[in-house]
């Protein structure tokens, strides 16, 4: 019983820290505020062109609301990086925790609009090769944390090279 109370308190404390102090988050606060205040135009839930198909969003989703589906034709995004799958978000299972947005490496690494979100962040039209040339805007420890959830960590390795 005592252990259960401790677990509950620890969970409540972690969640409060996350909400109040933005700890354990990588999404830019301005983007989060735009999403929360409904200042983004809902379009597609997954920006198919910019998504690299890494599966990070699926792996981090606590409710299994995201399914990775095979593409008819694999797409070579750049040398050594081939996209074979895209995520499909099942809204009925989504609890709008924003983890998928926080952990998407396209957003997280480059500090720009993400490629997937339950309410979307608007149209994202990006050239992946150009994106990869941009400087990383987050710390090494956050990159390491995010990379745990990526099925294909090629993008992280490439940034380190």
Distance CA 15, CA 83 (A): 34
Stretch that binds ligand SF4, among 3-11, 20-28, 111-119, 132-140 (CB under 6 A): 111-119
> What is the dihedral angle through the alpha carbons of 72, 80, 110, 18, rounded to the nearest 10 degrees?
80
Q: Calculate the CA 28 to chain-centre distance.
A: 12
By CB under 6 A, what part of segment 119-148 binds ligand SF4?
A: none
Q: What is the DSSP letter of 79?
A: T
For residues 76 to 105, the per-residue mask of contacts with ligand SF4, x marking binding by CB under 6 A and - elsewhere, is -----------x-x----xxxxxxx---xx
Q: What is the DSSP letter of 2?
A: H
| 54/143 with CB nearer ligand SF4 | 54
| 26/66 with CB nearer ligand SF4 | 66
| 2/73 with CB nearer ligand SF4 | 73
Distance CA 87, CA 26 (A): 20
| 116/143 with CB nearer ligand SF4 | 116
61 forms part of the interface with ligand SF4 (CB under 6 A): yes
């Amino acid at each position: 019983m005592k252990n259960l109370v401790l677990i509950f308190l620890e969970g409540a404390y972690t969640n409060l820290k996350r909400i109040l102090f933005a700890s354990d988050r990588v999404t830019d606060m301005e983007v989060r505020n735009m999403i929360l205040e409904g200042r983004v135009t809902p379009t597609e839930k997954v920006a198919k062109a910019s998504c690299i198909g890494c599966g990070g969003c699926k792996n981090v989703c606590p409710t299994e609301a995201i399914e990775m589906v095979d593409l008819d034709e694999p797409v070579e995004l750049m040398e050594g990086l081939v996209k074979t799958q895209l995520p499909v978000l099942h809204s009925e299972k989504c609890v709008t925790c924003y983890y998928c947005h926080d952990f998407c490496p396209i957003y997280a690494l480059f500090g720009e609009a993400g490629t997937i979100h339950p309410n979307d962040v608007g149209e994202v039209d990006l050239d992946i090769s150009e994106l990869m040339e941009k400087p990383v805007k987050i710390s090494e420890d956050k990159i390491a944390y995010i990379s745990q959830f990526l099925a294909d960590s090629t993008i992280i390795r490439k940034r380190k090279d």
